[in-house]
Structure 1
Amino acid sequence: MGKTTQRKHDLEYFTIEKIEQVVRAGDQVLLKSPKPNEPPYVARVDKLESNFKRNGKVEVKARVQWYYKPEDTSQGRKDYHGTKELFLSNHYDTQSVDCILGKCTVHSFRDYVKLGNVGDEEFYCRFEYNAVTEQFTLGDSDWSCICGRLYNPDHSPAAQMMVQCYGCKLRSEINHSICKDHVKMDSTFRRNVKMKHVLP
């Protein structure tokens, strides 16, 4: 019995017909979880390709780069992780486009904190995660306090809000308001304080 041959072609885009949404390489998408009660997965589309088989069938697949949730990493979820926080991983996979539910948006942390209303399909990412070494790399924001904790944008109490000393304009002086109140913000402090890069 002969082998079924395949011809692969890169695609510029494909359309999710049910919602008439066009997906291209570079888009962030929601993918169906194999577990019925589990939220969708989030990934970035790296490449789209069609496989033409000898039997006449055509398969369209997407090579995706996965975003991990904090609880999916070796370190687990911490108190400074927001509910919408994701980590861009180096884990790539190939999925059928039938698993794609629709597009979503993964903002940079700096853009996310400027949003007024956050939609169900909006997330943010400030870390990259190496799924092999289980190491984190801080991305576009190093907003950490002198207490060593990173900023969680979900925390509404005033004590958890981050404030900055605009007089000195040092990024190291972005602190929780409650921590700032316990520190004398003088020139000696500004010279001696150092950022604590707290990774998840």
Structure 2
Amino acid sequence: MMMSILWYYRPEHTDSGRRPEDLPDEIFASKHRDHLSVACIDDLCFVLTFNEYCRYRRFLRLLQEGVCPVTTPVPGPEEGYCRKDRQPPGCVVPERLFFCRRVYDYRQKRLLKNPY
């Protein structure tokens, strides 16, 4: 079985390298597409928007402090939130949680603002 994927880049894997304004869990989207075997899949990770990431981290912090959050970190589907199914289920290992604010154009070797 084969899959089509779009690559994400860590800041240190770009030509400009990691800069002081890059946050530790930040990755960059790209339009770099590959077709790979599904046997290449190592593990699952979650890539959130910056706002989703901040809400989720706050949700985890409340859980660690023993405070039971009254609301979920993301609005419910009845409110028309189409990314509800892309949220991490419960607590996720921090090494598998990322956020994306920018797009890396690998051909022109520059960062662009994420239009989404």
With normalisation by structure 2, the TM-score equals: 0.64
Q: Which residue of 1 aligns with 2:89?
A: none
**Residue 137 of structure 1: how far off its partner (Å):** 1.4
* Structure 2 Cα separation of the partners of residues 89 and 132 of structure 1: 10
* Structure 1 Cα separation of the partners of residues 54 and 96 of structure 2: 15
**Residue 95 of structure 1: how far off its partner (Å):** 1.3
Are residue 87 (structure 1) and residue 28 (structure 2) matched? yes
Q: Which residue of 2 aligns with 1:100?
A: 41
**Residue 126 of structure 1: how far off its partner (Å):** 0.1
Shift >4 Å, 4+ stretches: none
Q: Which residue of 1 aligns with 2:102?
A: 127
User: For the Cα contact (< 8 Å) 1:64–1:93, is it kept in 2?
Assistant: yes
Structure having the higher Rg: 1
SS of corresponding position for 2:17: coil
Q: Deviations over 1:112-149 (max 9, x none)?
A: 122233732110000011100112211269xxxxxxxx
* Structure 1 Cα separation of the partners of residues 113 and 47 of structure 2: 16
* Structure 2 Cα separation of the partners of residues 120 and 68 of structure 1: 15
Instruction: Point out the structure with the larger strand share.
Output: 1
* Structure 2 Cα separation of the partners of residues 77 and 65 of structure 1: 21
SS of corresponding position for 1:103: coil
**Residue 96 of structure 1: how far off its partner (Å):** 1.1
Are residue 139 (structure 1) and residue 114 (structure 2) matched? yes
Q: Which residue of 2 aligns with 1:12?
A: none
Aligned length: 82
Q: Which residue of 2 aligns with 1:67?
A: 8
Structure 1: which 5+ runs fail to align? 1-59, 142-200
Q: Which has the higher contact order (CA 8 A, sep 6+)?
A: 2
* Structure 2 Cα separation of the partners of residues 131 and 69 of structure 1: 12
* Structure 2 Cα separation of the partners of residues 136 and 67 of structure 1: 12
* Structure 2 Cα separation of the partners of residues 131 and 63 of structure 1: 18
Please tell me the root mean square deviation across aligned C-alpha atoms, in Å: 1.8
SS of corresponding position for 1:120: helix
* Alignment map for 1:17-56 (pairs within 5 Å): none
| One-letter amino acid matched to 1:83 | P
Q: Which residue of 1 aligns with 2:50?
A: 109
